Amino acid sequence: MAKTNLEAKLVSVYRPHMKIIGDILSTARDDLDSEEGATVTYLIRKANVSHVRISKILNNLVSQGLLEQVDSQGAFRYKISSNGREFLVAYQTFSRFAENFGLLI
């Protein structure tokens, strides 16, 4: 019983906003053919974020130039941009830096 509680606690660990952005960009970079881009549904499943929340984040990432929005047969798809790739490298490097201090960025 105690183990189950511990597992539940570990699964529900708080994930900062920056980590969610990192997960979305990683998914867009690593999991997909870069020509097609990812659907919102795919990103929701891979990044484990609600639809309402991911819509706001995707709009923000597109306006910041980190993701590119592609209109594909009436549905939007998202591709990582070159700025997004650079941001992701910086995010992963400084994430490791912060982890050394026991912190999440």
Partner 1 sequence: MEFLLENILNLIGFVVGLAIGVIAYIGYKNTGSATLFRLSIAFLSISVGFFVVWTGYMAEDFVLQKGQIERWVQTLGIGIQTVGYFFIAFSHSIKSFFPKSRYLRSIGIIPLFLVSAVHIEHIFRSISFILLVYGAIETILSYFEGKKKGTIFVAMGLSFLALGEFLGWYSFVFPESILYYVSISIKIAGLISLFIPVSKIPLTKIKFDPEI
Least Å from the CB of residue 90 to partner 1: 4
Least Å from the CB of residue 19 to partner 1: 10
Show Cβ contacts of residue 104 under 8 Å, excluding neighbours closer than 6 positions.
16, 18, 19, 95, 98
41/92 with CB nearer partner 1: 92
Residues that bind partner 1 (CB under 8 A): 18, 86-87, 89-91, 93-94, 96-105
65/72 with CB nearer partner 1: 65
102: left (phi over 0), alpha (psi -120 to 50) or beta: left
Least Å from the CB of residue 96 to partner 1: 7
4/93 with CB nearer partner 1: 93
| β-bridge partners, 75 | 72
Note the Cα 29 to chain centre separation in Å.
10
Nearest Cα residue to 17 out of 91, 70, 67: 91
75/90 with CB nearer partner 1: 90
